[in-house]
Amino acid sequence: MTTQGLIILILYGILGIIFFAVLIYVKMQGRELLGKPSMNVTIQMLGKFALFIPALILPAAAYGKDWSWFQFPDWVSWVAVFICFEAMLFLNLSLLKMGKFTKVGLPYQDEIELQTGGIYKLSRNPMYFGLFLLALASNLYVPNPFNLLAAIIGIAVHHQIIKREEAFLAQQFGGQWEDYKSKVRRYI
């Protein structure tokens, strides 16, 4: 295993611990983990699955399963590690800040709060942005057309999901959302 691979696996381990801790916390609070889809369920699930592929390919390659069709110079793998680190920062900080309000989709019944502090001061969608960065890191670390196609589809569908979720937030929070939106970019 390379040093780059070890770093990637450690970052995934930290994300896994935080992710499951937040999921347990959400359930202990008696809140929804799965909300209603913001768009056509089939398309939304396709997008989730597509973005999940690069997120799985990266640690598999870090562990030694290489699906690369060609090799970039070694320094590119270090760029991928750096981008993976940034992705994990966005993902972990957004999970921790979102806390009990974490869910996939829009709420059915749970009350929500508009998140504007912490990492949400840098991005209105830090969790999605972190996933996009992870897809980029995966494609730099494991260049192959399947990985690239999955990332493109996943990011395109999630961009549409974000637009619909932001419309929901505008309806839910009105002026508070508009003020936040005027100060913070969608991604970064």
Task: Identify the pLDDT of residue 134.
Answer: 98
pTM to 2 decimal places: 0.92
Sorting pLDDT into bands at 50, 70 and 90, what band is 122?
very high
Question: How far is C-alpha 9 from the geometric centre of its chain's CA atoms?
Answer: 17
Task: Identify the pLDDT of residue 115.
Answer: 92
Task: Identify the pLDDT of residue 138.
Answer: 97
* Higher-pLDDT residue of 37, 182: 182
- d(CA 70, CA 57) in angstroms, rounded, equals 15
Which runs of E-coded beta strand occur in the chain?
Answer: none
Sorting pLDDT into bands at 50, 70 and 90, what band is 90?
very high
Sorting pLDDT into bands at 50, 70 and 90, what band is 42?
very high
DSSP summary character for residue 176: H
For residue range 138-151, list pLDDT tens digits in order.
999 999 999 999 99
Phi and psi at residue 21, in whole multiples of 5°? -65, -40
- d(CA 90, CA 132) in angstroms, rounded, equals 10
SS3 for 71?
Answer: coil
Sorting pLDDT into bands at 50, 70 and 90, what band is 110?
confident
Please compute the mean of the pLDDT values over residues 117-125 and round it to a whole number. Answer: 95
- d(CA 78, CA 48) in angstroms, rounded, equals 27
**Whether pLDDT at 176 is above 90:** yes
**CATH assignment of 3-183?**
1.20.120.1630
**Whether pLDDT at 84 is above 90:** yes
Torsion angle of alpha carbons 27, 15, 157, 53, nearest 10°?
-120
Phi and psi at residue 106, in whole multiples of 5°? -90, 150
Q: Specify the amino acid at residue 101.
A: F
